[in-house]
Amino acid sequence: RGAKDNTSLLQDEERLITPSTSDGTLQGKERLWQMLITRNVTQLYASYWNSVPHWNAVTNNIHRTAPIIHGLETCETFQKITSDSPSQRRIAPAGLFNTGTNLLSVLLEYNCQNPHRVAKFNGNAKRGHGNEWQTRWGKHTPARYRRTYSTSKNPKYSVDE
């Protein structure tokens, strides 16, 4: 009689809980629970809460001594390729929805200006700072489509430029 049947196991997984220290469901997840409380969460499905990592597991995955920047090994090659026409150098944000691409675009506009492109587009309100609003394959389109998809039917430059 100590073994649970499939119905009672399913009921345990689907039950709503309020994590607490008394039953041990809050241990190691206190900070995460406080974040959820600020969003008016009062209960969670037990199976979901059990899948949430402890806070130290979260912080161990984000604390680094330096940022990870992919592609630094290609900077010198890119600069050589565009040395004849530095106005061809483009900066444009891309990323998933709700990840700050619009903010990044504004920050790039105010902090990262390509003087060669500024001279080329002087007076153009949209491009006068020398940056692009989005990558050629789109702001929210996954990068794996960069060689097969374009937001423009008649692109003015290729992906490799």
Residues 93-125 have pLDDT tens digits of 888 888 888 898 888 888 888 888 888 877 665
Residue-wise pLDDT tens digits, 8-40: 555 655 889 999 989 989 999 998 899 889 888
Q: What pLDDT sits at residue 156?
A: 60
Cβ atoms of 47 and 53 closer than 8 Å: no
Residue-wise pLDDT tens digits, 56-84: 887 777 766 666 677 888 888 988 888 88
CA dist 106 and 93 (Å) reads 10
Q: What pLDDT sits at residue 17?
A: 92
